[in-house]
Amino acid sequence: MKPADIGILIVDDEASVRDSLCKWFRLDGYRVDTADEGASALRKLQDDSWDIVLLDIKMPGMDGLELQRRIKQIDKDIVTIVMTAFASVDTSIQAMKEGAFDYIVKPIDPDDMGHLIRNAVQHRQLLTENLNLRQQLAEMSYSDEIVGESDAIRQVLARVATVAQTDSTVMIRGESGTGKELVAMAIHGNSNRRYFPMITINCGAYTEGLLESELFGHEKGAFTGAMYRRRGKLEMADKGTLFLDEIGNIGRKMQMDLLRVIESRQFTRLGGDKQIQADFRIISATNRDLEQAVREGSFREDLYYRLNVFSITLPPLRERKSDIPLIARFFMNRFARSMNKAVTDISPETLDMLMKYNWPGNIRELRNVIERAMVGAKSSRIDPGDLSFPFHPSPGAVEDESLEAVEKNHIQNILSRTGGNVSQAAAILKISRLTLYNKIEKYQLKKG
C-alpha cells in the first residue's frame, strides 16, 4: 500500500498542531485533512473514507474519548491515535482500553510521530488483509456446504454454476430451512463480484418504514432518532451482491421503490436530495407462491418479472432423503471440530431413524438435531438415544407403513379438508403448488 493510499484525518482545536502535522504527512505523501472539533470530524468521516485518525483528548464540546467512541461506531477498523498535552496515565489507559492504537504526548517530536504512523499503517494493512482473507475463506466454503448427491441437488448446483457467470437477477425458491441463503452465497462466491461484499437483508424482519431506512439509508434528522447520516444496504452492496431474503413479504410501496431502483440503479437516502448510483446484482429468495400473489394483486407483476429472470427451486429434504446420511455426517464432522469431541460415526439405527422422519424444518432442523446429539453423545458415535425429535412416530402405526404411503395419505387428507383447493393445500403443507401437482400426479390423488 502506497502512502497516497492512506488517508489521515487530524482532529485538534490548536491550529498550530494541525498545520504542523498536516505539513509533515503531506511531505511523506499521505492523503491528509484536518478538523478543528469533533462534530466536523464526524462529518468528514461520513463523507469520505479514512484509515488513521489523530485526535486530541482535550477539545471544546466533544472530547477525544467521546469522538473515538463515535468513530468506532462508524468503522471499528479505523486506527485511532490519541494526542494529549496531559500525560495522564488514567486518560491514556482509558483511550487504549476503548480501542486506541497508541497515544503520543505533546509537544510532538516529528521522529516519534513518523515512527508511530508507520506502525499504524502496518496495523491498518494487516486488518485489511485479514478481512479480505476471512471473506475469501468464507466464500470458498459456501458452495461446499451445499451437500448432497441426489439428482435434485445436482441440478441445483448446475444452475448455480450457470448463472454465477452472468449478472442476471436470480430468484431462489424453496421452503424455510432448505438453504436458500447458502445458494445465494455460492452464486456470489463464484461470480466476478466475489471480491466485493454480499449484503443480506431479511425483508420479512422489518416494518415497511424500517426496511426503507435499511435499504436506502438516511440523512441526519430525516426522522426522529436519525442522529447521524447512515449508508443503506444498496450503497453497501456497490460492485457486489444484494441478497433480498423473504422478498414476498414487502409491501406495495416498497415494491414500487425497489422496481425504480432496479431499473435506474439510482436512489436517494431518506431526507436527502442527492442522487446516489450503485452497481449491484440482486438475488432474492422466497418461500411464497409469488405467481399466486401476482394473480391476487398483492405483488407487482412487473417487479416479479424483473426479479425472476433466472429461477432456482430448492427441493425440501423429504424429497431427497438419499442425501440425509451425507448431510448428517457433514454436520457431525463440523460440530466434532467446533466442540472438540471425538465423535466419528453415526450408527445404522440412528441413520434409519433420520431417514424415517419427514423433516418439516428441512436441513436447518437436521442440523439442529445433529448439534443436540453431538452435545449429548457419550461415545465415539451418535446412537438413537442421543437424538431428540419433536415428532416420534408411534410404534405399530406409522412404522408399519412405507414413507410414500404416509405421505400419500397425508396429502389426500389435506386435499379433502381444503375441498380440492391446491393453493390452500400447498400452503398448509408448506410446499410449492408445482411440487403438490407433481405429487398429485405421482400418487394419482383426487383433488376433492
Q: pLDDT tens digits, residue range 69-103?
A: 999 888 888 999 998 876 566 777 788 888 899 98
pLDDT, the chain, mean = 86
Listed in sequence order, the residues at least 6 apart from 245 whose beta carbon sits closer than 8 Å to its beta carbon are 180, 181, 200, 201, 202, 203, 204, 284, 285
- The pLDDT assigned to 446 comes to 63
> For residues 419 and 399, what is the distance between their CA atoms, to the nearest angstrom?
29
Mean pLDDT throughout 357-368?
90
- The pLDDT assigned to 51 comes to 92
Interstrand relation of 266-267 and 276-277 (parallel, antiparallel or unpaired): antiparallel
Listed in sequence order, the residues at least 6 apart from 348 whose beta carbon sits closer than 8 Å to its beta carbon are none
> For residues 83 and 77, what is the distance between their CA atoms, to the nearest angstrom?
19
Q: pLDDT tens digits, residue range 224-274?
A: 777 777 889 999 999 999 999 999 999 999 999 999 999 998 999 998 888
Nearest residue to 225 via CA among 267, 270, 268: 270
Task: Work out the number of other CB atoms within 10 angstroms of the CB of residue 246.
Answer: 19
Q: pLDDT tens digits, residue range 196-235?
A: 899 999 998 888 888 999 999 988 887 877 777 788 999 9
Q: What is the pTM of this model?
A: 0.59
Q: pLDDT tens digits, residue range 105-160?
A: 888 888 889 889 999 998 888 887 777 666 665 555 456 678 988 889 989 999 99
Nearest residue to 188 via CA among 173, 215, 166: 166
- The pLDDT assigned to 399 comes to 47
Rg (CA), the chain: 28
- The pLDDT assigned to 394 comes to 38
DSSP, res 380:
S
- The pLDDT assigned to 400 comes to 47
DSSP string, 142-209: HHHTS---SHHHHHHHHHHHHHHTS---EEEE--TTS-HHHHHHHHHHTSTTTTS-EEEEEGGGS-HH
Which triple of cell numbers denotes residue 117?
504512523
What SS3 state is found at 37?
A: coil
Which is higher by pLDDT, 424 or 168?
A: 168
How would you label 371-386 residue by residue, b for 16+ Cβ within 10 Å and e otherwise? Answer: eebbeebeeeebbeeb
